[in-house]
A and B are shown apart, each in its own frame.
Chain A
Amino acid sequence: KAGVTQTPRYLIKTRGQQVTLSCSPISGHRSVSWYQQTPGQGLQFLFEYFSETQRNKGNFPGRFSGRQFSNSRSEMNVSTLELGDSALYLCASSWRDRVYEQFFGPGTRLTVL
C-alpha cells in the first residue's frame, strides 16, 4: 500500500506570496492532519480534517488554511508569506478520527526569502 504523499517536496517563495501544499493520504484513510516543524518550535499541530470537515485547529494565524476533498486528499494554503513560515510542513493520515496511529508523509520543505 502506498504511503502518504506530499507535493511539492521543496518550495521557495518570497515574502508576501501565497503557497498551496498538497497531501494524498494512504488509500482508505479519511483523516488528514497537518503539522509545521521548525527548529525553534518543533512539531506543531495546524489542523485536522475528516470527511471534508475541519475537526480541530491549532494556534496559527488565519493566514493558514486548509481543506479536504471528497477523495480525502487535502491541501493547505498559506497566504501573505512571512520569513517565519519557513518550515517543514508534514501531513499525516489515519483511517478515521480518534484513531491515534497517524502515518506521516515526507513533508514539504518551504523556504521563504
Chain B
Amino acid sequence: GQQLNQSPQSMFIQEGEDVSMNCTSSSIFNTWLWYKQDPGEGPVLLIALYKAGELTSNGRLTAQFGITRKDSFLNISASIPSDVGIYFCAGQRLNYGGATNKLIFGTGTLLAVQP
C-alpha cells in the first residue's frame, strides 16, 4: 500500500525537550494533516495545513507545509509525558476526476517521553 516517508521512526526524549519530525513524498499534496494516535484508539487530528509555506500552531505544536508541497514538518516544544503516542502525517491530493477525501498516511513516529 501507499505510504509517505516519515522520520524519525521513533524518538525517546526527556520531558521538557523539543521534538521535530517530518514527512516527505515524491508527489505533490494539496493538504497536509498531522494526527496523534494513542494505543487502542483512533487518530486524533492535531493540525491541518492547506497552503504551501503555511505555518500553523496548536498550543505547543507547530506544523509547516513545505514550499515544494512534497513535505511537511511537525514540532513539539517543551514535551510532557502525555505527548507519548504515535504521530502520523497524512497527505491529500486533489482528485481532478472528482471530489475525494482519501488520505495517504505516513509510516508514523513513535514518541516516548521520560519524566
A: which residues have CB within 8 A of B?
4, 31, 33, 35, 41-45, 48, 50, 55-56, 58-59, 90, 92, 94, 97-107, 109
B101 A90 Cβ-Cβ under 8 A:
no
Q: Is the CB of B42 within 8 A of A106?
A: yes
Complex alpha-carbon distance, A109 and B40, angstroms = 8
CB pair A33 B43 closer than 8 Å:
no
Q: Are the C-beta atoms of A56 and B42 separated by less than 8 Å?
A: no
With a cutoff of 8 Å between Cβ atoms, the chain B residues found around residue A58 in the complex are: 1, 102
Which has the most chain A C-beta neighbours within 10 Å: B31, B43, B48? B43
Which B residues have a C-beta under 8 Å from some C-beta of A?
A: 1-3, 31, 33, 35, 40-45, 48, 50, 88, 90, 92, 95, 98-108
* Residues of chain B contacted by A107 (CB below 8 angstroms): 40-42
B103 near A33 with CB under 8 A, answer yes
How far is A55 from B99 in the complex, measured between Cα atoms in Å?
Answer: 7
Chain A proximity of B102: nearest CB distance (Å): 5
Bound-complex Cα distance A109 to B104 (A): 21
Which B residues are in CB contact (< 8 Å) with A59? 1
Please tell me which one of the listed residues A44, A55, A105 contacts residue B101 in the complex, with CB atoms under 8 A apart.
A55
In contact, A33 and B102 (Cβ under 8 angstroms): yes
Residues of chain B with a CB closer than 8 A to A103's CB = 45
Interchain residue pairs A-B with the least CB separation, the first 9: A104-B42, A43-B105, A97-B99, A44-B1, A100-B31, A98-B99, A56-B100, A41-B1, A104-B43
Q: A42-B1, A43-B88, A55-B100 are in contact. Are A104 and B44 (CB under 8 A)?
A: yes
Whether the pair B3, A94 counts as a contact (CB closer than 8 A) is no
A48-B101 contact, Cβ under 8 Å, with A56-B95, A100-B50: yes
Which of A55, A98, A99, A102 is the one whose CB lies under 8 Å from B45?
A102
- Chain B residue with the shortest CB-CB distance to A90: B42
Cross-chain contact A42 with B108 (CB below 8 angstroms)? yes
